[in-house]
Amino acid sequence: MEKLKEMEARIKELENALIFCANSFDDNVRINIAKAGLAMDELIDDPNPFVRRAIVDNGYKLKHFIYDEDVMVRVGIANQGCCLDFLIYDKEMKVRKAVAKNKKLSRNQINLLIKDESPEVRLEIAKRGEKLAFLSKDSSPMVREEVANQGYGLNALVNDPSPVVRVAVANQGFGLKSLLNDPNETVKKAAKLYGFYHEDAIGEWKVGRKFRTCSICGNRESKYEIATKRCPNCNFVMKNFKELPSLKDPKTRKS
């Protein structure tokens, strides 16, 4: 019984010491106490936003902080998936972006966020693979680029006015025949690199009377030169290159 009383007295002493530390003038002390999930009632209105954010990260009394003046404190609430219906209207883009990243979003919330004024918020919805048909017509190239990265709407995006979007389409291996002749050099390079880095991307030489033509990009070469493994224009592997020696080679020329 005496040992139990001693233990209770010791715990009380530790609690008092902790409260004393919570009132420390040293910000780092208070931050570390909050991160440990201790003395949070004493620290809940701390003037240092890092202390309040640490309390939020512990999921403690989140609704107390929804009007907090510090953006990162409100971002922390959104990260916890709390009060999303309220924070979705926050004036700060960073908070709404955090809302858009949260896995707990409802259909109605997603429908609101795809019309958000910030392209960074709409981008987060595209990254989720949501509402891609709507976002493929977004005014921001960065949003349309992400739609292309998702492999959606490539038929339309291959003709997008932004070269950034067309590069994303090329990286999907789509529309390469037109993108290899794109007026933008970066797009053209991306189309060529797709063929170079994808050994499974196979084309073939279509042989005519004087020329052979790449089935991927339409590149035409003289039939009298030895066929290469890769088309020099698009870098795609040609599946029938071994069958096409040079007609200048006397070993292969018919007498």
- Quickly list DSSP for the chain: -HHHHHHHHHHHHHHHHHHHHHT-S-HHHHHHHHHTT-SHHHHTT-S-HHHHHHHHHTT-SGGGGTT-S-HHHHHHHHHTT-SHHHHTT-SSHHHHHHHHH-TT--HHHHHHHTT-S-HHHHHHHHHTT-SHHHHTT-S-HHHHHHHHHTT-SHHHHTT-S-HHHHHHHHHTT-SHHHHTT-SSHHHHHHHHHHHHH-TT-EE-EEE-SSEEEETTT--EEETTSPPPSB-TTT-PEETTGGG---TT-TTTS--
Q: Encode the chain (255 residues) as per-residue pLDDT tens digits.
A: 666 655 655 555 555 555 655 555 677 888 888 888 888 888 899 999 999 999 999 999 999 999 999 999 999 999 999 999 999 999 999 999 999 999 989 999 999 999 999 999 999 999 999 999 999 999 999 999 999 999 999 999 999 999 999 999 999 988 888 888 899 999 988 988 887 777 666 778 787 777 888 887 888 888 767 777 788 888 788 877 766 665 555 454 444
Are 212 and 205 in contact by the 8 Å Cβ rule? The answer is yes
Report which DSSP code applies to 236: P
pTM of the model: 0.75
